[in-house]
Structure 1
Amino acid sequence: MPQMAPLNWLTLMLTFVVILLMFNIKTFYTVNHRPVINKLMIKKTHLTWKW
């Protein structure tokens, strides 16, 4: 029936949005981002001043 087509599209769109939100929430809370510490950034130079 052509009259039921908008309801089918609405159901498909809502299903897609719910799956998309669930996937985004899952990846946001499960991925553990660790900061990359570069060895060159930690290296400190100590200057000794002789007056």
Structure 2
Amino acid sequence: MPQMAPMNWLSLFIFFYTLIIFMIIINFFFYLPTTAKLIKQSMKNFPSWKW
């Protein structure tokens, strides 16, 4: 079935994309203090940012 090849590529791409996003979220929650420090440093570096 050659017409199923794009769907398989799309599903594989979505799978890897969700896996990468999941790993990023896990790393964000694992390194939460360091990310908070980086956010504070970036806020100091860019005082024009307003949340």
Q: Place the TM-score, normalised by the shorter chain, in its bin.
A: 0.5 to 0.7
Flag structure 2 segments of 5+ consecutive residues without an equivalent. 38-51
RMSD (CA atoms): 1.7
1:20 maps to which residue?
20
Greater relative contact order structure (CA < 8 Å, 6+ sep): 2
TM-score normalized with structure 2 length: 0.60
Structure 2 match to 1:43: none
Q: What do residues 1-51 of structure 1 show as CA deviations (whole Å, max 9, x unaligned)?
A: 111000000000000010000000100111242x7xxxxxxxxxxxxxxxx
Instruction: Point out where structure 1 has 5 or more consecutive residues left out of the alignment.
Output: 36-51
**Equivalent pairs: percent with the same residue?**
38
Taking structure 1 as the reference length, the TM-score comes to: 0.60
Structure whose CA Rg is larger: 1
| CA distance in structure 2 between the partners assigned to 1:4 and 1:26 by the alignment | 33
In structure 2, the partner of 1:2 is: 2
- Relative to total residues, which structure has the larger helix share, 1 or 2? 2
Paired with 2:26 and 2:20, the residues of 1 have a C-alpha distance of 10
